[in-house]
Amino acid sequence: MAPGIGGLQLTSLAGDRRTAAADSDELEDMRLLDSYDEINGGARRIQVEVTGMTCAACSNSVESALKSLDGVISASVALLQNKADVVFNTALLKDEDIKNAIEDAGFEADILPESSTVGKVPQGTLVGQFTIGGMTCAACVNSVEGILRNLPGVRRAVVALATSSGEVEYDPSVISKDDIVNAIEDSGFDGSFIQSNEQDKIILRVVGVYSLIDAQVLEGILSSTKGVRQFHFDQVSGELDVLFDPEVLSSRSVVDAIQEGSNGKFKLHVRSPYTRMASKDVAETSTIFRLFISSLFLSIPLFFMRVVCPHIPLFYSLLLWRCGPFLMGDWLKWALVSVIQFVIGKRFYIAASRALRNGSTNMDVLVAVGTTASYVYSVCALLYGALTGFWSPTYFETSAMLITFVLLGKYLECLAKGKTSDAIKKLVELTPATALLVVKDKGGKSIEVREIDSLLIQPGDTLKVLPGAKIPADGIVTWGSSYVNESMVTGESVPIMKEVNASVIGGTINLHGVLHIQATKVGSDTVLSQIISLVETAQMSKAPIQKFADYVASIFVPSVVSLALLTLLGWYVAGSIGAYPEEWLPENGNHFVFALMFSISVVVIACPCALGLATPTAVMVATGVGANNGVLIKGGDALERAQRVKYVIFDKTGTLTQGKATVTAAKTFTGMERGEFLKLVASAEASSEHPLAKAILAYARHFHFFDDSSDTTGTEIDAENDAKSGWLFDVSDFSALPGIGVQCFIDGKLILVGNRKLMEENGIDISTEVENFVVELEESAKTGILVAYNDILTGVLGIADPLKREASVVIEGLQKMGVTPVMVTGDNWRTARAVAKEVGIQDVRAEVMPAGKADVVRSFQKDGSIVAMVGDGINDSPALAAADVGMAIGAGTDIAIEAAEYVLMRNNLEDVITAIDLSRKTFSRIRLNYVFAMAYNVVAIPVAAGVFYPSLGIKLPPWVAGACMALSSVSVVCSSLLLKRYKRPRLTTILEIIVE
């Protein structure tokens, strides 16, 4: 099709649905051709069900076992799904080898059927984000939500007034993104698609398209690119939207195809959806500001003509100069107000007509009714005076002032929206714009480094990170070593050493050395993107208290219109029967004019705009403030529950304690030398990924070699070196037994390392001497690890996990706040009691397996109490999900974000107090906002209706009513913005400690 000058719609044969369907089938057939079988020549992907995993250490153990196999190309293990995804070379390995490797690691494995991993992928639901412009109050939100939820294929729809956006979960096989946008626009609002969780779209800014011929060249390139489904180029903005099949193309392939096809003439820059959304917000803010300033400048002369000019004879005589049928002042007022009413105020008429067309009413309807009534009456009064010579007062100023005040309130809302999005903007800015891609030859040697857009990074890419540069994606260090500052993500200020095989987080800063990293997670899968998504979701969410505002708004506008009509009728009838003196009437006025002014004031002042802003603005500010303080909040409902928390249940290991276990005692009971004993235990634990195993291995290494690396509690690199050095015994039939220990064979003899239960299950006798020693360890807050070799209990290790330095103070602080702390642990009762006594917790639940922690949470919920669970977000996930408020401490993992309502990024227990305190402060602010929102209406509506005029002589002119209405919105927004001044509570204040 021939492109237009303003924009070009480019759809490569996808405009016809039948052709698109054919293309889809063809692309579906291409999926197998593009699989690992073809790309890697004999490579294959399978999925394996893995049972027995209980924590991250288990999943890491399985993943390490798989990656150690010669022929495995990639392996990833999902703890929650109990699955492993493995890509391997079929020439070197078989399916059975994969299964055996997992079982050798101590877990059960079953190869999933081929039908579950290959072939056509069934289409599920997608979650799309859309901008919705033109919403002004809660009634608008209810209208849009109702329309979206009734669309076929839409399963869930949430609309946020404060962010002018909506999130829709829909079935793409039933309804498309364009259909949803059309539904939004048909409902009377401006709609546009931002992004979805389907990685099939890229937004590019194209530089170099200057003519119709250039546009046709671009169309030809895209039309001939295999896998491109649809595209649209806007020649005015230079933006190109490309929809492609992710099974055939990647976003980088699209960019490369355009640049190569144009011989480098077209320069492409990837547009982030967040940047695009921010630019729309800026454009909306600037538009509203321009309209407000225009209305203000035109309203100032009206104010001068009414208030100032009567006191200046020269100007007043000019206004009284008759020009045709009207005075010069009347002509000027009519002209100025007509521009304000129909040019500047056009947006209110458009929005009101759309709302009425859809059977709903909103703030725009009230503004349109109020301003039109005063404008039409004023025009009719002028015309009536010209025809009869009876000149009634006009109220042109009312229309002008009302529109000006409404625009001022809307502008302040836009500013508030921009300020509350600061947290997202800061997070987006953490990711660098470009990255250095290391291109390798077939032999794996680096041959060149080229700069690419960071949004085009793909999993498996090797990236070069220079000193001082931001790490562009989540990945693994493959070469080099350096210190990395991760404070912007984790909140920890101390730089962390990164060497080969260490994981890095996108957005963090490389401080000193050069690193090569292999990207493992890109796009929406990165930690940073998940954090951004979490903050966005929180700002989109509605607190339960918002339902009250939505309900009131749904019935408010019709009630106000009815009340205004009753006011008009009441005053008019009262005047007609002589119920009030004629002196009350304005100069040259009549009973209808007198009644009309009361009616207009009621319509204007009763706008529910502030009511709709009371909760979402506060929630938006709170989530942004929380993110800046390292506390990520999942939504308004989480805020609402957290401020009513009665019990906080703490996991012990890694939450109250540092999670860095160290061996503090080692004793033998059979005469075996300590060195020999430690060598046996270390050999057995070398294959385990459990933190206690690493502590034991580090202790044994230090004992034998006086190696200071023991201070690090052992690393994967140390374990690999131990295996290669030969100082450990050869181990066979190793098996990890979740919750009780490990077992294996050394020199054909069984060795058991674990707790009492492991010994009892294997018939190992525990002597009184051993039992007393273990009890002594447990009563001093240490964990006793029993070791049996050849069916004889050989010795015991004592392991301590130091408490976090802030633990006891935080527990005391919670108690001062009226919250009861509880500790739950899988450890034994003696150790649990000792730890609880040290931190000051009275209620302890010990010897609880990971799955049983959720039952502990439920037991506290039986009486209706609100319960918070604080855990590490991995094996505590069932309890985090069961709690009313889940708080994942030391976050940055997928499971923490999924299971918890609060994510405490700094791995600091003080943030538990911050989370609860911020929630309480936020809901105090919301309640105050409702006072601001409702007080004006409750107090001012009777005044506007003239209830107090007969007794007190008080009335509210329409333009004053408009000012009060705008002031209510301004008060609510400013009240919410004051939350940005929130400071995390000082423990010295909570505990009332006097510091000298």
pLDDT, one tens digit per residue, over 786-814 is: 999 988 999 999 988 888 888 888 998 89
Alpha helices (runs of H) in 590-673, residue ranges in sequence order: 591-605, 609-628, 636-642
Q: Where is average pLDDT lowest: 379-388, 508-517, 540-549, 717-726?
A: 717-726
**In the predicted model, is pLDDT for residue 717 greater than 70?**
no
CA separation (Å) from 82 to 63, 78, 127, 562, 672?
12, 6, 25, 60, 41
State mean pLDDT over 155-167: 77
For the chain, give the mean pLDDT. 76
pLDDT attached to residue 890: 66
State mean pLDDT over 353-366: 70
CA dihedral of 967, 972, 978, 979, whole degrees rounded to 10: -170
Q: Which tens digit of pLDDT belongs to each residue from 746-758? A: 988 999 998 888 8
Tokens of residue 620, six digits: 């938006």
- Whether the CB-CB separation of 130 and 542 falls below 8 Å is answered with no
Among candidate residues 496, 439, 435, the one with its CA nearest the CA of residue 470: 435
pTM of the full structure = 0.58
- Whether the CB-CB separation of 698 and 717 falls below 8 Å is answered with no
Active-site annotation holds for 70: no
- Whether the CB-CB separation of 666 and 798 falls below 8 Å is answered with yes
Q: Is 947 helix (H, G, I), strand (E, B) or coil?
A: coil
Q: Where is average pLDDT lowest: 476-480, 586-590, 965-969?
A: 586-590
Q: Give me the numbers of helices (H) and strands (E) for the chain, helices first please.
A: 35, 37
Q: Which tens digit of pLDDT belongs to each residue from 451-497? A: 888 878 888 888 999 988 888 888 999 988 888 887 666 545 567 88
Q: Which tens digit of pLDDT belongs to each residue from 123-145? A: 467 778 788 877 766 667 777 88
pLDDT attached to residue 57: 54
- Whether the CB-CB separation of 232 and 11 falls below 8 Å is answered with yes
Confidence of residue 280 (pLDDT cuts 50, 70, 90): low
pLDDT attached to residue 32: 26
pLDDT attached to residue 152: 86
The share of the chain scoring above pLDDT 90, in percent, equals 6
The CA distance from 488 to 502, in Å, is 18
Confidence of residue 648 (pLDDT cuts 50, 70, 90): very high
State mean pLDDT over 43-65: 71
The CA distance from 53 to 895, in Å, is 14
Q: Go through the domains of the chain in sequence order and give each one's CATH number.
A: 43-112 (3.30.70.100), 126-277 (3.30.70.100), 458-522 (2.70.150.10), 626-657+804-918 (3.40.50.1000), 662-705+727-800 (3.40.1110.10)
pLDDT attached to residue 17: 33
Of 651, 876, 884, 911, which residue is the catalytic one?
651
CA separation (Å) from 587 to 326, 531, 879, 914?
18, 64, 73, 62
- Whether the CB-CB separation of 248 and 34 falls below 8 Å is answered with yes
Q: Is 952 helix (H, G, I), strand (E, B) or coil?
A: helix
**In the predicted model, is pLDDT for residue 573 greater than 70?**
yes
CA separation (Å) from 166 to 25, 128, 177, 347?
32, 8, 12, 21
The CA distance from 38 to 32, in Å, is 8
Among candidate residues 129, 133, 130, the one with its CA nearest the CA of residue 410: 133
Q: Could you tell me which residue, 858 or 269, shows the higher pLDDT?
A: 858
The CA distance from 179 to 191, in Å, is 11
Long-range contact set of residues 477-481: C-beta below 8 Å, sequence gap at least 24: 477/501, 477/502, 477/503, 477/504, 477/515, 477/516, 477/517, 478/516, 478/517, 478/518, 479/515, 479/516, 480/513, 480/514, 480/515, 480/516, 481/513, 481/515
